[in-house]
Amino acid sequence: MIFTKSSDKKQAFINGWKQSKLVRLFLYLTLVLVFFFSVFQHLIVPNNNSGVADNEKESIQDTPVYVQHSIHSLDFLDRIFDKLEQINIDASLTDEVKTEIYSVYFSQEYDAFVEDNVKLLMESEESEDSFNVSLIQEIEKQYIDQQYTFPVEAFFKLPRLSQAEVIKMRPVAESIVSNLMKEQIEDASVIRGKVAEMVNASNLSDDDSRILVTEIVRYSIFPNYFYDAVATQDAMSATDTAETNYWQIVGLSILVILFTAFLYMYIRQSKLQLHNNNVQLLMLVFIFIINILGMKIVALGQSLDYPYLGFLAPVAMGSMLIAILLDYKLAFISSILFSLLASIIFNFENPDVLFDYRYGLVASVISFTSIFAVHKASQRSSILKAGIFIALVECLSIASIFLLTDENNITTFVLSMTFALMNGLLTAVFVIGILPFFEVSFGILSSVKLVELSNPNHPMLRKLLTETPGTYHHSVMVANLSEAAAESIGANGLLCRVGSFYHDVGKTKRPNYFIENQINSENPHDTIDPDLSKSIIIAHARDGVEMLKEHKMPKPICDIAEQHHGTTLLKYFYHKAKKQQELSGEFEEEIQESDFRYPGPKAQFKEAAIVGLCDCVEAAVRSLSNPTMDQINTMVDKIIKDRLEDQQLNECDLTLKEIDTIAKTLKETLLGIFHSRIEYPELPSRDNDKKGVTKDEATVSM
């Protein structure tokens, strides 16, 4: 007895966690922590080092501080081209004179340009009361030390350029210089190494023009990233004195709590099963973790060479999984959070702002698109099609961003488009791969899986159709009834439909012992003992479960097959056995009602209970030769009343209000199914009401 009580308590604990408020609170707190740590390094700017480990302090002290100062390279480039146009158009000058002018001009112009920029920098520093002599000296030194040596042979080629060639060369040079100077250039020779390839990719066809543009662009590349000795020393001095910025942590905490509260309030107000079902809530948390982890992994690869790598992140994966496994409206809400997180996690180029709208916009567009594409998906191939659709829509989104921001870097644009196309494929592959994990681990049947199981070509359904056509027809009728009944109370109608298809598959072992398959043949139960008949009938539920498990059918389908009869009594054979005992006069062993009951278990969830009710109702109404509306209503009410009195619905979470709704839906659906066979009462004629005459033709066709 002690062991039994202990087992009961253990089972109660296992079942209890699914509705436990404490577990639910823990899961929401987990979401808060997931949000917090996923964006912590992106939003919390370290302005201190207090509390930092000694080895970390040493690392900070050894790290030099650099500042970025961009020189106006395009102005310098324009001066060169202006000089080219001015000199080359002058017919009074020979090529030799022009060559000599250029050899002197390039060097003088570089020195003058550097001197002017250094003066401007000094004046700017003085006006801001932040004069940093060492930094200005370092900048000037690097400009001089890293001056490009213009090839002597190029000076001889410059005078040969026509006016048209110079005009064509200018925009190519400006575009390349503009793009390259956006990078952090500490060593200009590294950047200059990229020039030749970029020139070759331009529209210049003349060899001399390409060579000269390459040299002019290289000459116009200046360093813009400089070592700041003062700032480095200040950072080293501040290592042991700065304090933690707790206000940022408070701000981040408020932000992630708002995220979680937003999600919680929607779940609560929408009255989803998720609100009281911790299994589904746990799955939602897992989906958020997987999706955020995917974004974080992609973010690790972001660099100056691949700043738009964030477009590769399969952000829509989480939205698709939620739409397929949980609820498509919840997927829209989650997509908003995913988009905000993406705009934070991929904010690589704009450290001064919290969110990068580009990634947030693209993430929201592809997430919403994915939901529209898959929330009614009937096959896994639909997910792949959704991935293609996601890729196309993401390409359009990125194109709009590039056009609006006037971004003219073709290489970056092509890379971004490539990432978008790969994103669509990756998203589809990941969703198809992860979906079975959630279906198996959480015992959830997606609509995609259910629709696949409802295919008439499924081996078990073909077996049911060919070997037991009567049972197959009965199962289809039960499917229609149960789906309508389930949807009327917000239960899973598709699960009821598919469960109905398979609920009587066990009858294929002994098809002739079930009345719907006895076409033009005798009933074998008329000639055998009622106890044997009972064993054969009861066995079909157990046989069905075994067959379904052999075919590795999902647990909910197996549960419906096992639970649809509950522990109901086989009244016909029970009373037949009692009658035979009375006629024989042998009362040595009393016939027990429990011996003629199904072994159960009773229905443990709404869908199993609904299929059980519809199974009984369909068989009962089918037995009527010409059912009337009153007969159908009476039959439905009687069956439901019997099930309630027999306590068959006590272990599922159907409410009395829901049972009443199911009864009304069943009556309406049955009227639609049997409308051609129902006889309606004659209606009194309005013209002859006083005489009590009725009209023979006063029938209504439905």
Average pLDDT score over residue span 551-580: 89
622-636 pLDDT, tens digit per residue, is: 888 788 888 899 999
pLDDT at 54: 46
Q: At residue 240, what is the residue type? A: D
pLDDT at 659: 94
Average pLDDT score over residue span 186-215: 90
Residue 241 has pLDDT above 70, yes or no: no
Average pLDDT score over residue span 173-199: 90
* 574-578 long-range Cβ contacts below 8 angstroms, 24+ apart: 574/530, 574/534, 576/530, 576/533, 577/530, 577/531, 577/534
Greater confidence, 556 or 624?
Answer: 556
Residue 484 has pLDDT above 50, yes or no: yes
User: Which residue intervals of 300-409 are DSSP H helices?
Assistant: 316-325, 328-345, 357-374, 380-404
Among residues 347, 607, 348, which one has the least CA distance to residue 491?
607
The answer to which of 46-50, 274-278, 423-427 has the lowest mean pLDDT is 46-50
DSSP 361-392: HHHHHHHHHHHHHHTT--SHHHHHHHHHHHHH
pLDDT at 136: 85
Residue 81 has pLDDT above 60, yes or no: yes
Greater confidence, 628 or 485?
Answer: 485
pTM of whole model > 0.85? no
Structure tokens at 359: 């990634």
Residue 352 has pLDDT above 50, yes or no: yes
Task: Please report the domains of the chain, with CATH numbers, ordered by start residue.
Answer: 17-43+251-447 (1.10.1760.20), 66-227 (no CATH), 454-532+540-567+600-677 (1.10.3210)
Residue 601 has pLDDT above 50, yes or no: yes
Average pLDDT score over residue span 681-700: 35
Q: At residue 14, what is the residue type? A: I
Residue 237 has pLDDT above 80, yes or no: no
Pairing relationship of beta strands 66-68 and 225-227 according to DSSP bridges:
antiparallel
Of the pLDDT bands very low, low, confident and very high (cuts 50, 70, 90), residue 502 is very high
Residue 110 has pLDDT above 50, yes or no: yes
- Residues 608, 572 contacting (CB under 8 angstroms): no
385-412 pLDDT, tens digit per residue, is: 899 999 999 999 999 998 888 777 788 8
- Strongest mean pLDDT among 160-164, 335-339, 492-496: 335-339
pLDDT at 684: 44
Chain position carrying tokens 């990068």: 356
Whole-number percent of the chain with pLDDT over 90: 41
pLDDT at 12: 53
Greater confidence, 641 or 245?
Answer: 641
Residue 169 has pLDDT above 70, yes or no: yes
Helix (H) or strand (E) holding 266: helix 246-270
pLDDT at 686: 39
Residue 671 has pLDDT above 60, yes or no: yes
Residue 128 has pLDDT above 70, yes or no: no
pLDDT at 629: 87
Please calculate the CA angle 347-386-435 and round it to the nearest 5 degrees.
85
CB burial string 52-79: b at 16+ within 10 A, e below? beeeeeeeeeeeeeeeebebebeebbee
pLDDT at 574: 86
What rounded mean pLDDT belongs to the chain? 84
The answer to which of 64-73, 109-118, 127-136, 648-657 has the lowest mean pLDDT is 127-136
Of the pLDDT bands very low, low, confident and very high (cuts 50, 70, 90), residue 681 is very low
pLDDT at 3: 38
The answer to which of 6-10, 110-114, 214-218, 272-276 has the lowest mean pLDDT is 6-10
Average pLDDT score over residue span 435-447: 80
pLDDT at 184: 87
Rg (CA), the chain: 40
Of the pLDDT bands very low, low, confident and very high (cuts 50, 70, 90), residue 130 is low
